[in-house]
């Protein structure tokens, strides 16, 4: 009744209507609705978790061992020749000592080898440095070398093998897989979720009913956005914590790393939601959403380093990979999580995401439909 | 009787959809605290007219004021003092009735208790149900509840009884009458004449976008009778609907 009296007395214009209240009411409603929608939960959580489980248990796929040859090492000797023949060992040459040290520390090379002819003797001395960042592969290399050492043809020429281990960070499969899955989860939530919601709100005339209230269009978009981002962040946090506590996902700076990852996730979802707005505008009905969304998500799923490092792709594919926004989100996530970089250190990746965001929203504003 | 005050005034309203003229120069006033009926067959232009007054569609030409506010310049003010039931509208998916009412309370900036709103339309037992799970009559009652959230001066009901069974229809008439008795002006569209005769203080007949008659149901009937009209068959004291209601009972069925 209070309200009525106010209304009749107010001249015109503002009589206490709050856009914030309206926006938050929408965010709350939308969030409740998302939490009860099976498809949203499946896309955001179940899907990435399955991949994380699979890869978490399978461990690192095709085994090859990257062995760096210490600068100054003898290269034309039977030891290195035999190592090459195993087919399992990839030799990494032509890098400086400093570069090798970094690679070794991160586990990007699994060991360093240094071979020298012993003074006054025909035999060689082999010096191997392993890294704790890659214990599994170090172990394999060790047994390979032991076999070589006892190999009859080599035996006379190898005098000794000296081994040592440096401590580096252990880079596990999960450290690669989890950020990729997280990125993909954000992409699906942003694209599918947003596209479905806005198309269905438009088609079922929910939005039309909203327009009969004093709510602003911006409140509708922002309210939905808040709910979607909130949901995506809860999903992200869940994935990160599960990965950390059950699969040993590396969080170098602990909580700070998590916060940085969530900030990146927020930027990611906002950018990806733009695709969703566009798709909701061009799709004529709900059955058109999955195919159109897949055009956006599948290439990124495959080419943005979700499963494999994009360096593993053929050269002609790499420029495509490097054009996709998810590539940069994944990249930034990995750098922040594993290498412990701050957000400022991944400013290049953030900038590319922002450029994508501006482009996407420029299109979204043009093609988005309210009715 | 004192002269009634017009709360809605429509003058020469024209609406074209491309070349098609859906509304051709409508003029009428709706008085404060009355139940005003727009009657006419499907496609007559009732929904179009209503939605233009509700500021949901643009008009081609004409002048409309709602409680002194112009639809052209003061749409926002109008939205705050009206309640709207659309002929076809959905509600936010996956939410129950209480949550939907909370959402609308937020959208209107109204401070209400959701359960009280549901009680007004006798849906308190369905508080935790989803809109989709309601019967036709319950859906319409819920829609009416959402129109009352901002304590509006006027509510617009677009064919609220279409598709309902006789009990649900009568039940809705009672509800609408209560709302009017509480001081709210009601604008309703229907193509059931018995409903208009029972419910409306004044009715306008709309045909192909034009008003062909506007008066109280009594006056319209009297005019016809005075012109010498007679029903072919002697009217009995009851009709088949009365029999149906009498046999099945008047209580709510949902
Ligand atoms: N958005 C629209 N575009 C084109 N024609 C429309 C549109 N809405 C309604 N019409 C046409 O305008 C006429 C009046 O429609 P409407 O106002 O819905 O009638 P009623 O509510 O009386 O059944 C109909 O012929 C309908 O086909
Ligand atoms: Mg209609």
Cα-to-centroid distance, B174 and ligand 1 (Å): 29
Please state the rounded mean pLDDT for residues A86-104. Answer: 81
Asked if B107 and A214 come within 8 Å (Cβ–Cβ), the reply is yes
Strand partners, B189: B38, B158
Residue B17 pLDDT more than 90? yes
Task: Look at residue B249 in the predicted model and tell me its pLDDT.
Answer: 72
Half-sphere exposure of A190 (CA within 13 A, CB side): 27
ipTM of the complex: 0.92
Asked if A28 and B79 come within 8 Å (Cβ–Cβ), the reply is no
Please state the rounded mean pLDDT for residues B122-133. Answer: 95
The rounded mean pLDDT for chain A is 83
Q: Is B16 exposed, middle or buried (0-12, 13-18, 19+ CB in 10 A)?
A: middle
Q: Nearest CB to A205: which of B86, B102, B104?
A: B86
Buried/exposed A79-106: b ≥16 CB within 10 Å, e otherwise: bbebbeeeeebeebeebeeeebbebbbb
Task: Look at residue A17 in the predicted model and tell me its pLDDT.
Answer: 87
Asked if B109 and A208 come within 8 Å (Cβ–Cβ), the reply is no
Task: Look at residue A368 in the predicted model and tell me its pLDDT.
Answer: 93
Residue B252: which residues within 8 A CB-CB, separation 6 or more?
A: B122, B137, B167, B168, B171
Residue A9 pLDDT more than 50? no
Please state the rounded mean pLDDT for residues B50-79. Answer: 96
Question: What CA–CA distances, in Å, run from B172 to A225, B38, B123, B143, B176?
Answer: 38, 17, 13, 11, 6
Q: Are B203 and B36 in contact (CB under 8 A)?
A: yes
Tell me, yes or no, if A206 comes closer than 8 A to chain B by beta carbon. Answer: yes
Q: Which atom of ligand 1 is nearest to the CA of B23?
A: 14
Q: Are A36 and A236 in contact (CB under 8 A)?
A: no
Tell me, yes or no, if A227 comes closer than 8 A to chain B by beta carbon. Answer: no
The preferred substitution site among B14, B16, B22, B56 for testing ligand 1, maximizing ligand atoms within 8 Å of CB, is B22
Task: Look at residue A214 in the predicted model and tell me its pLDDT.
Answer: 95
Please state the rounded mean pLDDT for residues A150-179. Answer: 70
Sheet holding B69-70, edge to edge: B20-31, B6-17, B61-66, B69-70
Taking only the tens place, the pLDDT of each residue in A31-69 is 999 999 887 788 778 878 887 777 766 654 445 778 888
Q: Which CATH superfamily is domain B6-248 in?
A: P-loop containing nucleotide triphosphate hydrolases (3.40.50.300)
The preferred substitution site among B14, B45, B87 for testing ligand 1, maximizing ligand atoms within 8 Å of CB, is B45
Task: Look at residue A61 in the predicted model and tell me its pLDDT.
Answer: 43
Sheet holding A65-69, edge to edge: A89-92, A65-69, A111-117, A124-131, A158-166
- How many residues can be counted in chain A? 371
CA distance B198 to B215: 14
What's the pLDDT band for B132 if we cut at 50, 70, 90?
A: very high
Task: Look at residue A158 in the predicted model and tell me its pLDDT.
Answer: 64
Residue B1 pLDDT more than 60? no
Residue A125 pLDDT more than 70? yes
Residue A245 pLDDT more than 80? yes
Q: Are A298 and A187 in contact (CB under 8 A)?
A: no
Q: Does the Cβ of B185 fall within 6 Å of ligand 1? A: no
Global pTM value: 0.80
Mutate to test the interface with A, among B70, B106, B139, B153 (most CBs of A within 10 A): B106
Which has the higher per-residue pLDDT, B171 or A82? B171
The sign one gets for the Cα dihedral B117, B123, B124, B126 is negative
Tell me, yes or no, if B110 comes closer than 8 A to chain A by beta carbon. Answer: yes
- How many residues can be counted in chain B? 254
Q: Are B123 and B96 in contact (CB under 8 A)?
A: no
Least confident segment among B66-70, B175-179, B232-236: B232-236
CA distance B143 to B89: 9
Task: Look at residue A4 in the predicted model and tell me its pLDDT.
Answer: 39
Q: Which atom of ligand 1 is nearest to the CA of B49?
A: 17
Tell me, yes or no, if A218 comes closer than 8 A to chain B by beta carbon. Answer: no
Please state the rounded mean pLDDT for residues A101-108. Answer: 81
Which residue of B lies nearest to A36 if distances are taken between CA atoms?
Answer: B94
Task: Look at residue A6 in the predicted model and tell me its pLDDT.
Answer: 36
The rounded mean pLDDT for chain B is 92
Least confident segment among A124-128, A242-246, B220-224: A124-128
Q: Does the Cβ of B41 fall within 6 Å of ligand 1? A: no
Residue A1 pLDDT more than 70? no
Which residue of A lies nearest to B53 if distances are taken between CA atoms?
Answer: A212
What's the pLDDT band for B242 if we cut at 50, 70, 90?
A: confident
């Amino acid at each position: 009744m209070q309200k009525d009296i106010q209304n009749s007395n107010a001249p015109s214009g503002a009589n206490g209507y709050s856009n914030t209240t309206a926006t938050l009411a929408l965010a709350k409603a939308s969030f409740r609705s998302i939490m009860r929608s099976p498809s949203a939960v499946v896309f955001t959580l179940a899907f990435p978790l399955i991949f994380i489980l699979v890869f978490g248990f399978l461990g690192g796929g095709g085994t090859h061992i990257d062995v760096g040859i210490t600068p100054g090492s003898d290269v034309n000797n039977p030891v290195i020749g035999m190592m090459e023949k195993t087919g399992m060992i990839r030799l990494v040459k032509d890098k400086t000592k400093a570069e090798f040290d970094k690679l070794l520390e991160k586990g990007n090379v699994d060991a360093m080898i240094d071979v020298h002819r012993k003074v006054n003797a025909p035999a060689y001395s082999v010096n191997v440095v392993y890294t704790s960042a890659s214990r599994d592969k170090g172990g394999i290399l060790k047994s390979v070398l032991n076999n070589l050492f006892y190999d009859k043809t080599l035996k006379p020429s190898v005098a000794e093998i000296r081994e040592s281990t440096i401590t580096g960070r252990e880079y596990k499969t999960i450290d690669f897989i989890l950020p990729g899955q997280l990125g993909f989860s954000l992409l699906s939530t942003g694209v599918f979720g947003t596209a479905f919601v806005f198309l269905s709100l438009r088609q079922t005339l929910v939005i039309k009913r909203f327009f009969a209230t004093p709510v602003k269009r911006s409140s509708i978009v922002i309210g939905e956005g808040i709910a979607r981002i909130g949901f995506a962040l809860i999903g992200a946090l869940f994935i990160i914590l599960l990965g950390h506590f059950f699969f040993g996902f590396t969080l170098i700076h602990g909580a700070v790393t998590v916060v940085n990852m969530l900030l990146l996730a927020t930027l990611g979802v906002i950018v990806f939601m733009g695709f969703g707005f566009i798709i909701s505008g061009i799709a004529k009905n709900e059955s058109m959403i999955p195919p159109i969304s897949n055009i956006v998500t599948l290439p990124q799923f495959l080419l943005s380093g979700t499963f494999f490092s994009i360096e593993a792709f053929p050269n002609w594919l790499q420029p495509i990979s490097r054009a996709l926004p998810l590539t940069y989100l994944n990249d930034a996530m990995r750098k922040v999580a594993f290498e412990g970089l701050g957000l400022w250190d991944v400013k290049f990746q953030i900038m590319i995401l922002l450029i994508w965001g501006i482009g996407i929203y420029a299109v979204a504003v043009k093609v988005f439909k309210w009715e | 009787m004192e002269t009634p005050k017009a709360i809605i005034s429509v003058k020469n309203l024209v609406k074209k959809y491309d070349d098609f003229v859906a509304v051709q120069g409508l003029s009428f006033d709706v008085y404060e605290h009355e139940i005003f009926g727009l009657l006419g067959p499907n496609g007559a232009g009732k929904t179009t007219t209503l939605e233009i007054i509700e500021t949901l569609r643009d008009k081609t030409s004409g002048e409309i004021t709602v409680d002194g506010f112009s639809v052209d310049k003061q749409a926002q003010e109008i939205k705050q003092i009206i309640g709207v039931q659309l002929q076809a509208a959905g509600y936010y998916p996956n939410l129950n009735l209480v949550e939907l009412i909370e959402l609308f309370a937020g959208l209107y900036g109204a401070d209400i208790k959701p359960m009280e709103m549901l009680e007004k339309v006798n849906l308190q037992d369905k508080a935790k149900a989803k809109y989709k799970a309601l019967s036709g009559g319950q859906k319409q009652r819920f829609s009416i509840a959402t129109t009352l959230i901002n304590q509006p001066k006027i509510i617009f009901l677009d064919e609220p009884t279409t598709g309902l069974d006789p009990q649900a229809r009568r039940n809705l008439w009672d509800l609408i009458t209560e709302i009017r008795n509480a001081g709210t002006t009601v604008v309703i569209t229907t193509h059931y004449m018995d409903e208009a005769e029972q419910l409306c203080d004044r009715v306008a007949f709309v045909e192909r976008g034009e008003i062909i008659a506007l008066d109280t149901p009594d006056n319209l009937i009297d005019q016809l009778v005075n012109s010498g009209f007679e029903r072919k068959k002697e009217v009995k004291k009851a009709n088949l609907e009365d029999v149906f209601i009498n046999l099945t009972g008047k209580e709510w069925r949902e």
